[in-house]
Amino acid sequence: MRHGLTRRTFLKTAGAATAAVAGCAALHRSGSPATGGEAGGGDRPPNVILILCDNLGYGDVACYGNTVHRTPNVDRLADEGVRFTDFYATSGVCTPSRASILTGCYPRRVGMHQTERGDWVLKPLAHRGLSPNEVTIADVLKARGYATAIVGKWHLGDQPRFLPTRQGFDSYLGIPYSDDMTARPGKPWPPLPLMRNETVIEAPVDRAGLTRRYTEEAIRFITANRGRPFFVYLAHATPGSTTRPHVGKAFRGTSKNGPWGDSVEELDWSTGELLAALDRLGLDDRTLVIWLSDNGAPRRQPPQGSNKPLAGWGYTTDEGGMRVPCLARWPGRVPAGRTCAELATTMDLLPTFARLAGGEPPEDRTIDGHDIRPLLFGHPGAASPYDAFFYYDVDQLQAVRAGRWKLYLPLAAKRGRGRKVPASGPGLLYDLVADVAEARNVADAHPDVVARLTAFADRARRDLGDGPARGAGQRPPGHEPNPTPRTLPPT
Ligand SMILES: [Ca+2]
């Protein structure tokens, strides 16, 4: 690994590469390695639409087994693309999960596993944010000539220096954090702001209308940029973190599962609108659509969302907390109607998109994710690129998966929610292939597997750290010494 290159150096280098590739493509219109082959058909790389739901569970859509919610448009993505059964977010909560999506790294790698106060997620006026030195998906694709937009929830820092417009996005419409972080007594939080780029345009924003507005904004951006490659990160606010999801008028009370079901069906409607727009614009076969969630459905009494058949709830390191639905559709390139059971993660999006765009992920730093084009394209024998995957709760390493096995480490003081683990001994071992619900601990029968996974955990501790102990491969987060609230400009 080379050191010393800043984000700016990466962007400059990548920009030069774009120019070189453009010249090359002009000379060899059909055979350039950057624009032919896996990068996509024709002479331009694919558009990418990344649709992210908030707190939507593994079992919340029909193509993952839900029998109550009606999700024909999401199911269509499964019919026309690939459905991943073992796809992971890197955290059970928003901020760290989103840091991984954008950077291709474990949250601890980029210092976004906790706030400066050791909390789960960033609150308004937090000092912390994703470091401006990190390279995001938007940076990588923008350097390849893409138009880049984020529509929706950011949650990687609400201070000006941390906003998406400083992280490679040409445009932004959305809320800079969670939709439950509204003005309230005892908190210095401002009325919930809707931002256009770096300016608040509405506060408090009408949360019920967000899904429709976000959908319209994404379609407007796609339409305006149909003649060039584009990247849209559509990060919906729902089902979200409020005790009753906010739902548009047209969907209120229309499902068989209360506001949660209404919001899932509204997300399905939104997905259908986007697919219709792609069809109308003739962009179907040059657009990769990825649809997923940032973490599992949280526990509610009575229950609202579903993580079935997985065990546990959002905000934990149980499978139900971190394994998410993930669908990918690209007609003509991603084979239709396939299921992929190989382990993949949100960290793979950056390296994969970089390659699809004819570029490379940043080489001056460690990126934890992998190029999963072989899984997307269904290459015969394509296997998970992970020897091990690590489950952290805030700063604590709690579990390791390798192949079919998941080991919950013994912890004298396990933090957060989720299953209880022994304080000492081998921990809890589950065979996720034979026992997807993590019901039968088989640690005693497989001491060799326990030893192997424990060694992986030691590797993670050295590299990424654990608890207060720093790892050798951690990078610092961004820090704003004097945070200010995002409020409407004076009139
Ligand atoms: Ca979330």
Q: How far is the CA of 143 from the centre of ligand 1 (A)?
A: 29
Q: How far is the CA of 45 from the centre of ligand 1 (A)?
A: 30
Q: How far is the CA of 315 from the centre of ligand 1 (A)?
A: 8
pLDDT at 13: 56
Q: How far is the CA of 77 from the centre of ligand 1 (A)?
A: 22
Among this protein's residues, is 326 annotated catalytic?
no
- Whole-angstrom CA distances from 86 to 58, 107, 339, 405, 433 are 10, 19, 10, 12, 10
- Bridge partners of 408, per DSSP, are 399, 428
Buried b (16+ CB within 10 A) or exposed e, 388-410: bbbbbbbbbbbbbbbbebbbbbb
Among this protein's residues, is 155 annotated catalytic?
yes
Total length of the chain: 491
Q: How far is the C-alpha of 245 from the C-alpha of 263, rounded, in Å?
A: 6
Active-site position among 94, 105, 326, 340: 94
Q: How far is the CA of 54 from the centre of ligand 1 (A)?
A: 4
The string of DSSP codes covering 342-358 is S-EEGGGHHHHHHHHTT
Which pTM value belongs to this model? 0.93
Domains of the chain: 44-376 (3.40.720.10), 389-470 (3.30.1120.10)
- Bridge partners of 247, per DSSP, are none
Cβ count within 10 A of residue 243: 10
Residue 242 binned pLDDT confidence (cut-offs 50, 70, 90): very high
Q: How far is the CA of 57 from the centre of ligand 1 (A)?
A: 10
Task: State the residue for tokens 């940043």.
Answer: 362
Q: How far is the C-alpha of 234 from the C-alpha of 198, rounded, in Å?
A: 17
What digits encode the pLDDT tens for the residues 432-484? 999 999 999 999 999 999 999 999 999 999 999 999 999 999 999 999 999 99
Q: How far is the CA of 114 from the centre of ligand 1 (A)?
A: 14
Residue 44 binned pLDDT confidence (cut-offs 50, 70, 90): confident
What digits encode the pLDDT tens for the residues 92-138? 999 999 999 999 999 999 999 999 999 989 999 999 999 999 999 99
Judged on CB neighbours under 10 Å (0-12, 13-18, 19+), 307 is buried
Active-site position among 155, 236, 246, 370: 155
pLDDT at 257: 98
